[in-house]
Chains A and B, each alone.
Chain A
Amino acid sequence: MGYYHYYSVLSYPSFIFFLIWIYVLYTGTDWYELFNVGRFLEESSPHMWAMVGIGLCIGLSVLGAGWGIFVTGSSILGGGVRAPRIRTKNLISIIFCEVVAIYGVIMAIVFSSKLGDYVPESELYERSNYYTGFAIFWGGLTVGICNLLCGISVGVTGSNAALADAADPNLFVKILIIEVFGSIMGLFGLIVGLLMTGKAEEFRSATQLMSHTIQI
Chain B
Amino acid sequence: MTQGIVRDTPYDVAVIGAGVVGCAIARELARYEVSVVVLERSGDVGNGTSKANTAILHTGFDCVPGSLESSLVSRGYHLLGAYAEEAGIALERTGGLLVAWDDEQQAALTSLQEKAEKNGYDATQILSAAQVRDREPNLGEGVRGGLAVPGESIICPWSTVLAYALEAASAGVSFLLNAQVTGVARVEGLHVLATGQGDVRSRWLVNAAGLFSSDVDGLCDHDDFTVTPRRGELVVFDKLARDLITSIILPVPTQRTKGVLIAPTVYGNVLLGPTADDVDDPFATATTEQGITRLFEAARKVVPKLVDEEVTATYAGLRAATQFQDYQIRVHAGEAYVCVGGIRSTGLTASMAIAEYVTGLLGDEGLELTARMLVPETPDMAPLGEQQLRRYLDAAAIGRDPAYGQVVCHCERVTQGEIRDACTGVLGANDLGALRRRTRAMNGRCQGFYCGAEVVALLSELSGRSPAALTGLDS
Same assembly: no
